[in-house]
Chains A and B, each alone.
Chain A
Amino acid sequence: MIEVLYFAWVRERIGLPRERVQTTAATVADLVAELSAREERYALAFADLASLRVALDQELSSFDAPLAGVREVAFFPPMTGG
């Protein structure tokens, strides 16, 4: 089981802030493909990966990163702090 978090418009598009996902995905991109195949709202949220960022266990990562040992995955748009 992996904890998946969504922030900002990704959260709004998918309609929930977090969920536990049972997955055998090897990489972030595989997880995105699994989620996108679930329902339209996921496919819409993940339509353009260039406009998304991903963090693995609260560290910025990339879509080709492996998920082995990862407990928390977060998807969000580019950050706008400051």
Chain B
Amino acid sequence: MQVRVQSAAFDLGTESASFVASAAGAGAVVTFTGLVRDNGGRLAAMEIEHYPGMTEKAIAAIAEQAMARWSLADALVIHRHGRLAVGEPIMMVATAAPHRADAFAAAEFLMDYLKSRAPFWKKEIGADGVDWVAAKDEDEAALKRW
């Protein structure tokens, strides 16, 4: 299990390749990448604030839950903070399991929990001004399915 919280960019190809290499024998790898969306051209950048210390602990706890619940060979979470331009990767998760069902389910679980239980706050910097992204009710509701 690997958790990284960083401001630096990461390379999807490199991260995916090294995760796949370390998960050799697993049978299935799922990766998900979140990007800064352009909101129909209205967004210039995203500023992501986090709570150093708690962030790493919260993500590790979420990843440990995933490892315990599904038959995972490995899991990876990378989440960035700081100022990111439209199109830049914000975060990625990768899961490795003997079969795809566990890898997909664990990746979705990780994403659902990272959304509303990892201490990050997004601020959109756009043509219409600057605003904190509000948490969505459906993101909270998504946790109930687990």
Contacts and interface: CB of A to CB of B under 8 A. Distances in A.
A74 interface: yes
A82 B34 contact: yes
A77 B114 CA distance: 15
A80 B121 contact: yes
Given A8-B123, A8-B132, A79 B117 contact: yes
Interface in B87-127: 90-91, 111, 114-123
Which of B58, B119, B140 gathers most chain A CB within 10 Å? B119
A9 B111 CA distance: 24
A9 B115 CA distance: 18
B63 to A, nearest CB: 13
B51 A80 contact: no
B57 A78 contact: no
A2 B135 CA distance: 28
Interface string A25-36: 000000000000
B54 A77 contact: no
B51 A78 contact: no
A80 B54 contact: no
B133 interface: yes
Taking each of A11, A60, A78, which has the highest tally of chain B beta carbons within 10 Å of its own beta carbon?
A: A78
A8 B91 CA distance: 19
B49 A7 contact: yes
A10 to B, nearest CB: 9
A69 to B, nearest CB: 18
A8 B120 CA distance: 9
Nearest to B91: A82
Interface of B: 34, 49, 51, 53-54, 57-58, 79, 90-91, 111, 114-123, 132-135, 140
Interface of A: 5, 7-9, 11, 55, 58-60, 74, 76-82
